[in-house]
Structure 1
């Protein structure tokens, strides 16, 4: 055994010496074999990539219901394990070409290679017919920063071309938005929402791998085929889409925009939206399906404080069957997020092995995270359990490591006292706490804890992702890069028995279990820090 693990064992031994044997025995283990069994099942080809509205969903939600039932958990939504989530599925078929006119030679962008496009309009067909193109910088309206990329333009009938991320990206300037840490203004969801609020007919995000934090292949896999939305009366543009950086530069070359410095121009506070004197034409034909997907909700009732709740969450869905890559068309989603869903079941098993808890524990496997956090958004709008009585949310998404990790990386560190609960258990495991070192990638806005936070519930999203006890920092960095480049949202995200590392996943799951265990037997409600934007929602 290597010295790192000996050190860890000694740390744990010291802790146990200071703790009564009875107390130690009261803390069950989250079982590694349970985690492996569920990942293997959920990520198998039999589950067809777990896409909502498909046979894969039916198999997945029924499997989760059965497993929660076997553990003796109660239905979490009255007498049902399911919370119905009405959604609209739109399968868009864009025209083969997106045509840009107005220059001497028209530019034809090729679908999938150069652009992807879709619509949230519930119509059989939508068109942008010679819609004027306007470069709108980062596409942000942020009064608190004195920022308005849309000012001075009548946007009716026009299409905004915008950059991904926000002006603080790579600026090393803490006064420019939040510096290198992405704000919500940097997320694609915000870009689409704001363009619609401005009355634009279309919006195109310029993809760049570093500020987006994923490659063009992820855009292709995530934004082609069927897309889902909650039914809503909120405004939406006719067309939303992405164009490659190379395509954007072709467009800029025929306009007055400086192709080498457009990013820097957009970072200036005095930036003004710039008409490109070009027009765009593209058509999308839609197949529309309205159906009901399901959140799976299970309840372990508390004793003395059964009307107070700790919610564990993980999304069960992935991308289903899609564009073939290396002759494989099933997007199994072993890491994303069979891993988190398996931990949900394994943590439920650990709670059942222990003594009854004072507070109630809720386990929610949410749908359609990959479509824009839709299942958790629906729950936030239609909560089953009173948010004011919900103590905390502990979210699990894409848990992967080569082995037990020396760090615990907290995404959204500094928002709430959940950091302190995590620190106590991490130190017990011989680990240290760090904020997300990749805060510029906006992970805080990219998983379901965000929707719980938005309604005031202190949320923890944490896992080991920086330094492995045995393999160090560089090895983990290499592993994460390989996953991001070759497996994230690709058919290659598969479970391989005997190869997929489970020890690190179990180590994280044990930590998250023990945090919930502590919360479930006390009377205190963790608080948001005064500087967090989510504090107001808790206090209202």
Structure 2
């Protein structure tokens, strides 16, 4: 590592004059084009800053960085100080902080799920057979005698000619919905809904949102372990405690009254009583032209809600652009973690979150510093340390819904979450598959830096929809979410896979996710160089990357860019 650092340091002087001079094979200038050695030379002076920020944010006196607690001001003040030293200006109309108002809703006193019809009454216990919560900020939730309608996968995708709600008015009714999307069982990614790769239409968040848009009283997803990619134990643990949401002016009155899940055997019993068969209806729902099926039965259930409101903060800084300052590129990483958590065998109860995600905040701080060192980009670069990722991507959701910089003036960006110490690699993957023009830029950067593209691990699990970049993507802004591969330079895939497995099984969301002076920074340095390259491609370019024509977010971006005066529509 010492010899490697000396080599790249020698290149620093050359980078400032060569960073924008590389041509592609056709002679076209590639904005900010850098070889692997040039990219790492560009970020080399900033790597010590990334180390410093990562180490400090994961220290015990930050108590695991739980948002909306007494330690939050200490955390945000530290980040502001580092942003300022990196050369950023306050990014929220002269302020560093953006308030993120949230609400915590904890349900209790749950009644059984009671289903009536066909001359019989069925009753199902909360927790063991069904779970439910409410997005609405109200002291009591009551769904009473709501007609059940089987709506297949609950998808409305105009770009694919698909509408599972065709011909029915869902007001006052409860949608019964299949998990995942229609062609999830394919071995490949072939199919209208990308086969084995989950699309957003397969995510439970989408299904509840669409049910609300259709006016449904409630929505119940049928749990099935294989298409869900997790067991009922995960559903039960996730949906039986406090739930967190961004506060809205109408207290989410436009959401369904209740959203929940039922065990597969429960759904089978309900459908059998209604004269239907779950397997047959599932097969029918996988074909285009499916129509919703009223079941001739009603559902009733209810619970009380304990409500607590609080406010946390995103930290926002900006490097103004030199040529097109009113066009923006985002760099984001969440600063929050779990705070105090279940003690380990030594009694340590601080989940420090060194990897998750002190590394990410360290990275965007270092990227700000590197960009400032090598001269401002043509477009403005916005750096956001986000809050409440661990509570459901709420900091990024709030920014996307209340953007400081217009989304149709935002070119795209990179989100960084949980960079694992380890060796340099030969490969990187793009989470989400081939979704947008960013994939082309990613492949260009890999080619320039002598790397290869690896397939995403477990695309059926929908990882693209589980990190902060998704909040922007959902409203049309393409975002890079990349992952370092497991093919290590030293030890190959055996070493890389072992390191990833060790982190997930032994350190993820645990007190042992701590800083160590023994970390191998070779892979982290490689990450930083690639993120720098990708960001400069956007910030020094003049293109507006869009989603692929068949992507679920293409229509949203196109509509936003069609607004009068939208920069992305030029």
Task: Tell me the TM-score range normalised by the shorter chain.
Answer: 0.7 to 0.9
**CA distance, structure 1, for counterparts of residue 223 and residue 489 of structure 2:** 36
Measure how far apart 1:280 and its partner are.
Answer: 4.1
- CA change 1:106–1:41 in 2 (3 A) is farther
Report SS of the residue matched to 1:422: helix
Change (3 A) 1:392 1:141: closer
1: distance between equivalents of 2:268 and 2:396?
37
Alignment of 1:161-310 (within 5 A): 161-171=176-186, 172=188, 174-216=190-232, 218-220=234-236, 222-223=238-239, 224-233=241-250, 235-245=254-264, 248=267, 256-258=275-277, 263-275=282-294, 279-310=298-329
- 2:164 is matched with 149
Match of 1:98 in 2: 112
State the aligned residue count: 526
Match of 1:109 in 2: 125
1:368 is aligned to 388
Structure 1 stretch displaced more, 233-242 or 528-537: 528-537
CA distance in 1, matches of 2:126, 2:501: 28
Aligned partner of 1:448 in structure 2 is 468
Distance 2:435 2:321 in 1: 27
Does 1:516 find its partner at 2:516? no
Q: Where do 1:19-38 residues align within 5 Å?
A: 23=18, 24=38, 27-29=42-44, 34-38=49-53
The structure 2 residue matched to 1:467, chosen from 487, 507, 522, is: 487
* Aligned-pair CA distance for 1:319: 5.0
TM-score of the two chains, using structure 1 as the length reference? 0.81
User: 1:371 deviation in Å?
Assistant: 4.5
Q: State the shift of 1:417 in Å.
A: 4.1
The CA deviation at 1:212 is 3.4
CA RMSD, aligned part only?
Answer: 4.0
Which residue of structure 2 lines up, in the alignment, with residue 127 of structure 1? Answer: 142
Alpha-carbon distance in structure 1 between the residues aligned to 2:525 and 2:330: 19
SS of alignment partner, residue 303 of structure 2: strand
Q: CA deviation at 1:396?
A: 1.3
Instruction: Identify which of 407, 410, 415 aligns with 1:395.
Output: 415
CA distance in 2, matches of 1:401, 1:257: 53
Residue number in structure 2 paired with 1:410: 430
* Structure 2 residue matching 1:137: 3-state secondary structure: coil
| 1:528 matched to 2:546 | yes
- Residue of structure 1 in register with 2:93 after alignment: 78
Cα separation, partners in 2 of 1:329 and 1:501, compared to 1, 3 Å = same
Residues 115, 244 of structure 1: 8 Å contact kept:
yes
- Mapped contact 2:411–2:545 kept (Cα < 8 A): no
Residues 105 and 137, structure 2, Cα contact 8 Å, conserved in 1: no
Quick check: 323-332 or 41-50, which moved more?
323-332
Q: Secondary structure at the match of 2:113?
A: strand
Deviations 1:35-68 (A, max 9, x none): 4544444445654554443335434323322221
1:88-125 deviations in Å (ceiling 9; x for gaps): x13222335533444968443243x5544221112111
Match of 2:78 among 58, 63, 74: 63
Q: Residue 197 of structure 2 contacts residue 462 of structure 2 at CA under 8 Å; is this kept in 1?
A: yes
CA–CA distance in 2 between the matches of 1:368 and 1:82?
Answer: 14
Q: CA deviation at 1:80?
A: 0.8
Task: Report how far residue 530 of structure 1 moved.
Answer: 6.1
Contact 1:95/1:282 (<8 A) preserved? no
The answer to whether the Cα contact below 8 Å between 1:406 and 1:469 also exists between their aligned partners in 2 is: yes
Retained in 2: the 8 A contact 1:97–1:108? no
Q: Secondary structure at the match of 2:193?
A: coil
Report the TM-score, using the length of structure 2 for normalisation.
0.77
